[in-house]
Chains A and B, each alone.
Chain A
């Protein structure tokens, strides 16, 4: 009924036209777009067309666009190029643009279709993989991960326990301070936590870059390993998101309770298992995109930080946060743009407080920030 009302203006307009036009209009209205669809593609062609025909109403908030000022790296610009790719007309520059996305979902915040360009591009990237058109540097990221099962070095030692602490590749490779902080907190609580000797990546980079078949192998492996545990605490919002949402969506159900570290820590504070003293420092909180926009975890970090620091809010916060530049493997795909995005965000945060706190290892590295776990560990009473 609501739909009929919504299109009443069309029926009103049709009342003025000839029968021939009326008949054709109805036919086109029902199935006119068929001729522009391309069969057999993983990319959602209908959505890509719709996005590409939009006047780019979200681009002012797109990090790759803001850092480059290049229309090719704007959301509708990328959708435009993606459609051209799907039609089979492309060169390397077009394929490259299809990978220039932080998957931060800033675009989705403004989209009346509720599209996330990252989601749309992910389908197209599966077609890029199928076409064997993946650029060499991106192929290297994928094949390295497929071979080594992790994005970098593993530094944590195996241990047994009831709940699993899943640090994630970025923590192990580049932000061990977070893992150390978490372990200090676990110890102070007396939590019996396990660490995997050979932690496999959650697989997100493969999922994101279009290597779905390979991603599923990671999902299967991890789902099997996780069966032993009742709870999994992750330091990385992306791992949390992948375990909570993508694995089940792809048929890999996890029975364990999946928690991001901030959820776990907030619960521990609430239950009185940890006490945090105020560190008497001004700190501004940066919401990681995946945590705020996909997992809607915005209160727990603030709850914790209100205990530990003099919490400041940036202008762009919560779901209106801005990407740190490292989302969607951008740091490896386009280091220059990734760094520019980080600089822009850092500048904005620093104008609020000299110390930045976040809840994601990638954001921590990009913004030279503390992770909440580190703050909590410092303030442990």
Chain B
């Protein structure tokens, strides 16, 4: 069967090598066409369009489902001998093309390593394998009276390994932290086949925390197989608050003041004018306004105090709207139908998150939105802010539109990205807050990293001498980034 692939490779994996790999994981090996198609993509939005047009991003040669670290190390050994690519795969919910096997090779699906290994209720931590599904893990914790506090919108399809490898951020992150705050210790098989593990202690001053290089590494250094994570008692109390503001700046300021006073609501979301009517069209009052919603949760007494502070600060410039909009958000927060509805109609879209200090926040928002609106064919240019720090905020931009007649979909898509990245760098913001680099952002990484890019390449070259781990992505020693 001949499928057109966007990234072609020579397919170095002959039958002899495949047999060697199959021998390591006899019950977890496939090179069927169905599986190679299913593992040819993640949730990279442009690939949705390609799929409808009969194209696949790339085809891996085979897929393996290991059940332990030793099997992974053995597969990596063969990959090093034969110089074939290894691509770790979690839930395939990444949005940057991170799992696309640009050079073919072996996709290593971690999902059969998904056991909860131990829970220490006294120390509030749990040791778990990296292939565990987010929702199944959170449900397990809830059953035992705890929460991880890491609830990305992709909770349902993603895995712990993917969160760690992309430095993910959950929607409740302002209270519970991002995944790098939640993880205490890691276990991984590195590109040279060695297995490393760090100690699950609250902190240690024992030189550089080398294992943390794997956070955000997107499969270029090794495969994360296990982690020890902080957990929290399941919240006793949950309070919903919403306010309307006349401007985005007022809403941002209210949140900035709340954090400054040491109050960290679990969920804080501020939608710009377009997204306010998009998501809260059921509420008459919202037209032309900015909505702010919050979920405060935890110990009852603490929440009571936090609620008072939050209301006080929001009340200075905003008008209270009650808990209904928050209930609406809770009920629809996993509704992601728009891609299914609009991509077949020919629309191109993506979401782009950036991190910025308070000082530059409004400037970033305006620069990006204005730049997007300057592109012929862009229809939607909007944003919300959903992760907050005393120092700043993450903006989550959405663009959508139709490529002009003389432009193909990918060029149009990249024009939007180029424009946004440019505006971002000019506004002193970081090009990614939590989606990572993958294929889409690779070309801007050097600009973001400066000299650190060289350091990353050296580290990659030292650990991955044969450049087998997710080649063609960031830090590839054979390619200019």
* Contact surface of A with B, Cβ cutoff 8 Å: 5-6, 8-10, 12-14, 16-18, 21, 24-25, 28-29, 32-33, 36, 46, 49-61, 66, 69-72, 74, 77, 80-81, 84, 87, 89-91, 93-94, 96-97, 110, 112-113, 315
Contact = CB atoms under 8 A, between A and B. Distances in A.
Given A33-B344, A56-B93, A89-B3, A71 B38 contact: yes
B365 to A, nearest CB: 15
A114 B435 CA distance: 28
A113 B337 contact: yes
A27 to B, nearest CB: 9
A96 B33 CA distance: 11
Contacts of B282: 5
A9 B275 contact: yes
Contacts, number: 160
A49 B339 CA distance: 11
B376 A18 contact: yes
B52 A25 contact: no
A29 B381 CA distance: 17
Contact of B34 (A16, A33, A97, A315): A97
B157 interface: yes
Contacts of A25: 379, 401-402
B340 A81 contact: no
Contacts of B131: 69
B360 interface: no
B461 to A, nearest CB: 32
Contact of A32 (B34, B278, B345): B345
Which of B54, B136, B157, B335 counts the most A-chain CB atoms under 10 A from its CB? B157
Contacts of A36: 52, 344
Nearest to B380: A13
Contact of A70 (B33, B35, B37, B404): B35
Nearest to B140: A315
Main secondary structure of the interface of A (DSSP, over half): helix
Contacts of B154: 55
A93 B336 contact: no
B237 to A, nearest CB: 23
B274 interface: yes
Which of A59, A66, A69, A90 counts the most B-chain CB atoms under 10 A from its CB? A69
Contacts of B340: 49-51, 53-54, 113
A55 B35 contact: no
Contacts of B335: 112
B376 A21 contact: yes
A77 B111 CA distance: 15
B133 interface: yes
Given A5-B282, A69-B111, A72-B35, A56 B30 contact: no
Contact of A8 (B109, B281, B337): B281
B439 interface: no
A70 B107 CA distance: 12
Nearest to B378: A17
28 contacts: A5-B282, A9-B274, A9-B277, A10-B379, A12-B274, A13-B381, A21-B402, A25-B401, A49-B340, A50-B340, A53-B52, A53-B339, A53-B340, A54-B340, A56-B91, A60-B156, A60-B157, A70-B30, A71-B92, A72-B38, A81-B37, A89-B54, A93-B32, A110-B156, A112-B334, A112-B335, A113-B337, A315-B139
B92 to A, nearest CB: 6
B203 interface: no
B275 A29 contact: no
Given A5-B282, A28-B345, A91-B1, A12 B277 contact: yes
